[in-house]
């Protein structure tokens, strides 16, 4: 199978976990949630659950 960039993944686009503020790689995120048309990525199931409980508490971007 073809992989689109030969080797290094160190320039991967990182995203911020809105709950704990940790930078994570979307490809290895432990959990994702879609809210209001935006996908959020989480370092752990625990962070995703905290987000589920009250998404707006975490100041996610809104239109
Ligand atoms: Zn919202
Ligand atoms: Zn987290």
Per-residue pLDDT tens digits for 5-62: 555 556 679 999 999 999 999 999 999 999 988 899 999 999 999 999 999 998 765 6
Whole-number pLDDT of residue 59: 72
Specify the number of domains making up the chain. 1
Using DSSP, how many helices (H) and how many strands (E) does the chain show? 1, 4
| Residue 9 included in any domain | no
CA–centroid distance, 34 to ligand 2, in Å, is: 16
Residue that wins the pLDDT comparison between 30 and 2 = 30
Residue that wins the pLDDT comparison between 59 and 63 = 59
| Residue 28 included in any domain | yes
| Residue 3 included in any domain | no
CA–centroid distance, 44 to ligand 2, in Å, is: 6
Ligand nearest to the CA of 20: 2
| Residue 5 included in any domain | no
| Residue 46 included in any domain | yes
Whole-number pLDDT of residue 22: 96
Asked whether the beta carbons of 13 and 26 are under 8 A apart, the reply is: yes
| Boundaries of domain holding 20 | 15-58
| Residue 10 included in any domain | no
């Amino acid at each position: 199978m073809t992989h689109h960039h030969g080797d290094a993944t160190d320039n991967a686009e990182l995203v911020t976990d809105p709950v704990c503020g940790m930078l994570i790689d979307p490809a290895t995120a432990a959990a994702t949630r879609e809210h209001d048309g935006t996908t959020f990525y989480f370092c752990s199931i625990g962070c995703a659950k905290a987000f589920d409980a009250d998404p707006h508490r975490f100041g996610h971007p809104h239109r």
